[in-house]
Chain A
Amino acid sequence: EAGVTQFPSHSVIEKGQTVTLRCDPISGHDNLYWYRRVMGKEIKFLLHFVKESKQDESGMPNNRFLAERTGGTYSTLKVQPAELEDSGVYFCASSLVQSRRTSPNNEQFFGPGTRLTVL
């Protein structure tokens, strides 16, 4: 079974440019998450999709970030225009079950991440 995949693995852009990151979740996983790790800090939640709907976007830093998941399959995260502080590793994860209670099936499977460098 294929895991979560992300593209590209690395991206180097200049301040003010636009970048689009892509995530393909595990097949059949309705739940898709984006996280970000800025260098030296913790991995932080950005947002959560259930199918094509945004369930929680409380972690999105500002309106330069736009996430979509048309058709409920893969997701894209666009940063426009990119700023220096957007540099970091962007992780995508997916899970089979969304639960509001403890559930042994809500494990999140992570992709390899996209390392974004804004110069």
Chain B
Amino acid sequence: AQSVSQHNHHVILSEAASLELGCNYSYGGTVNLFWYVQYPGQHLQLLLKYFSGDPLVKGIKGFEAEFIKSKFSFNLRKPSVQWSDTAEYFCAVYYGGATNKLIFGTGTLLAVQP
């Protein structure tokens, strides 16, 4: 079955710490990979996406993610977090085929302490 796993449900960091959020997906051939973020009281918005090419993807606000095909992983990273990065982060996968739906992970709540 198509599934996405996010290993960290709650993460608490101090400002300037480095961040890495894990995301693994079940095998499904060619996939599109996404990280969405939901800041408190706001919409889900796209942080970055991978379709093809360079497996290291740069997103907004200094975030990046690396697609490792052999590990079915798409981990999100940021070298130095800020208080404003406090949000919930969702990994999502588009498996293609006959459907256009996204499969989401359970989300990771990140709290950055000033």
Contact = CB atoms under 8 A, between A and B. Distances in A.
Interface of A: 3-4, 31, 33, 35, 40-45, 48, 55-56, 58-59, 91, 95, 98-104, 106-113
A107 B96 contact: no
A110 B36 contact: yes
A108 B102 contact: yes
A101 B30 CA distance: 9
B24 to A, nearest CB: 14
Interface string B28-68: 00111010100000111110010110000000000000000
Contact of B51 (A4, A43, A59, A104): A104
Q: What 10 pairs across the A-B complex have the smallest Cβ distances?
A: A45-B101, A110-B44, A43-B104, A42-B106, A42-B104, A56-B99, A112-B43, A102-B51, A104-B51, A102-B32
Contacts of B97: 100
Given A3-B43, A106-B32, A110-B44, A95 B49 contact: no
Contacts of B46: 107, 109
B43 A45 contact: no
Nearest to A108: B102
B101 A33 contact: yes
Interface of B: 4, 30-32, 34, 36, 42-46, 49, 51-52, 90, 92, 94, 96-107
Given A55-B100, A106-B94, A91 B4 contact: no
A95 B104 contact: no
Contacts of B94: 102, 106
B100 to A, nearest CB: 5
Given A42-B4, A112-B43, A31 B106 contact: no
Contacts of B52: 102
Given A33-B100, A42-B106, 12 more contacts: A33-B102, A35-B104, A42-B4, A45-B103, A55-B99, A95-B100, A99-B96, A100-B96, A102-B31, A102-B32, A102-B51, A102-B96
15 contacts: A33-B100, A43-B90, A43-B102, A43-B104, A59-B101, A91-B44, A95-B100, A99-B96, A101-B96, A102-B31, A104-B49, A107-B46, A107-B49, A112-B42, A112-B43
